[in-house]
Amino acid sequence: MGKCKFWTLRSNFQGQAKLSDFQLVEEDIPTNLKDGELVCEALYLSVDPYMRLFSDWSEVGKPVVGEQVARVTDSKNAKYPVGSVIRLSSGWRSHTHVKDVSTIDVMPELGDLPLSLTLGVMGMPGMTAYFTLLDVLKIKKGETLLVSGAAGAVGSLAGQIGKIMGCTVIGFAGTNAKVKWLKELGFDHAFNYKTEDVGKSIDRVAPDGVHCYCDMVGGEISFQVIKRMRDHGRMVVLGSISTYNNSTETTGPYLFSDILTKSLTITGFIIFNIREKWHIGEKQMAEWIKEGKLKYKETITNGFEHMPEAFLGLFSGENTGKAVVKA
Ligand SMILES: NC(=O)c1ccc[n+]([C@@H]2O[C@H](COP(=O)([O-])OP(=O)(O)OC[C@H]3O[C@@H](n4cnc5c(N)ncnc54)[C@H](OP(=O)(O)O)[C@@H]3O)[C@@H](O)[C@H]2O)c1
């Protein structure tokens, strides 16, 4: 009988998560499946910033949440025979016993594209970028779009979609190498927020201000951007990674007077709330990749046992593009 490994929370995160907050647990892989059930083995697993928040609403001892793409290794379900490849949110597990196949996500049409993209450009981060720009911001040709967290999984795609839609795109990222990559992707302006003054950089390249802001980071960067939004500017709050490790709640200063006097629209958006629409975005992303309009990068960590390191790397900027673990 083989063994399944899974990562659980050993202790709730206090501030920055630590390797010692995670525990690797083993159990037997089930063999006597009931009708309709299956077992799958992880091929690629996703690490994402939202998992930092998971500790706040999870109990110690619970498996860490997350998506993976996996191959069916045992099956009593005709729809998913042995060898089928599936995407599911079963957490940081090497093997999953699926009792209810309605929990399995629909796989995107990948064609020749690598399987791991199911977790990146053809998955949750890609869909976040796509629907944020087209459905929420409703970005228009000629507008100035600013993206923070720009060299990450969502940001690098959001900026490129902005270019496809005919916008001037400004990106902020945390290393010079990332800034160079953003320029290669076609960003009009890119800056290292750790070495350059965010406000002055925006003033220099967008003296009339920013129409749309795709916010991944919150904190000081967003403070500086909101100050430089144009009248009737639109901002989407996708994440706030600069505050995820704070142990106390941020209490401002909030820019209510800027929001009021500039008549800004600020929207929070969670991609899992529009799961039924993903197929539309997946089709378009695949086409843009095929046409050479959309480029992607993955930072792949080898080995299921390195899931915590890959996850922690998100908070120190180790990844460029999508962070994925190859099991
Ligand atoms: N609302 C949704 O549905 C949704 C969906 C997906 C993601 N998100 C959110 O979007 C954001 C980006 O997610 P992602 O998957 O694309 O992650 P990611 O950008 O691929 O990885 C995280 C990146 O954040 C940057 N970072 C870390 N700490 C930072 C800080 N203190 N200040 C500024 N930047 C920091 C790092 O890059 P640098 O080297 O540039 O610092 C790091 O590489 C996260 O906040 C995430 O929670 C939301």
Verify that 101 and 236 share a domain, yes or no. no
Residue 173 identity: A
Q: If you write DSSP's letter for every residue of 269-318 in order, what string do you get?
A: --GGGGGGGHHHHHHHHHHHHHTTS----EEEEE-GGGHHHHHHHTTTT-
Ligand 1, pocket-test mutation among 217, 245, 246, 278, most atoms within 8 A of CB? 217
Ligand 1, pocket-test mutation among 132, 216, 309, 316, most atoms within 8 A of CB? 216
Ligand 1 mean position, distance from CA 237 (Å): 12
* 208, part of any domain: yes
For residue 54, the model assigns a pLDDT of: 86
* 55, part of any domain: yes
C-alpha to C-alpha distances, 153 to 11, 33, 36, 115, 300, nearest whole angstrom: 28, 37, 35, 16, 12
Ligand 1 mean position, distance from CA 124 (Å): 13
User: CA angle, corner 251, sides to 248 and 257, nearest 5?
Assistant: 160
* 290, part of any domain: no
CA 209, CA 170: separation in Å to the nearest integer? Answer: 11
For residue 106, the model assigns a pLDDT of: 87
Among residues 31, 52, 44, the alpha carbon closest in space to that of 71 is found at 44
Verify that 257 and 242 share a domain, yes or no. yes
Q: Which domain holds residue 315?
A: 3-120+296-326
Verify that 19 and 73 share a domain, yes or no. yes
Residue 270 identity: I
For residue 159, the model assigns a pLDDT of: 98
Which residues contact residue 257 at a Cβ distance below 8 angstroms, ignoring those fewer than 6 apart?
A: none
Among residues 298, 294, 290, the alpha carbon closest in space to that of 320 is found at 298
Structure tokens at 270: 């969670």
* 288, part of any domain: no
Query: For 27-132, where are the alpha helices, taking DSSP H only?
Result: 51-57, 124-131
CA 126, CA 120: separation in Å to the nearest integer? Answer: 6
Q: Say which DSSP state 3 is in.
A: E
Verify that 218 and 251 share a domain, yes or no. yes
For residue 57, the model assigns a pLDDT of: 81
Residues in the ligand 1 pocket, defined by CB under 6 Å: 48-50, 125, 128, 149, 151-155, 173-175, 178, 216-217, 238-242, 269-271, 314-315, 317, 319, 323
* CATH number for 171: 3.40.50.720
Ligand 1, pocket-test mutation among 128, 241, 266, most atoms within 8 A of CB? 241
* CATH number for 301: 3.90.180.10
Minimal-distance CA residue to ligand 1 atom 28: 315
Burial (CB < 10 A; 0-12, 13-18, 19+), residue 252, is exposed
How many independent structural domains does the chain possess?
A: 2
pLDDT tens digit at each of 327 positions of the chain: 789 999 999 999 999 999 999 999 999 999 999 999 999 999 999 999 999 988 788 889 989 999 999 999 999 999 999 999 999 999 999 999 999 999 999 899 999 999 999 999 999 999 999 999 999 999 999 999 999 999 999 999 999 999 999 999 999 999 999 999 999 999 999 999 999 999 999 999 999 999 999 999 999 999 999 999 999 999 999 999 999 998 888 777 789 999 999 999 999 999 999 999 999 999 999 999 999 999 999 999 999 999 999 999 999 999 999 999 999
Verify that 249 and 307 share a domain, yes or no. no
Contact 299, 151 (CB under 8 A): no
Read off the pTM: 0.97
For residue 250, the model assigns a pLDDT of: 77
For residue 154, the model assigns a pLDDT of: 98
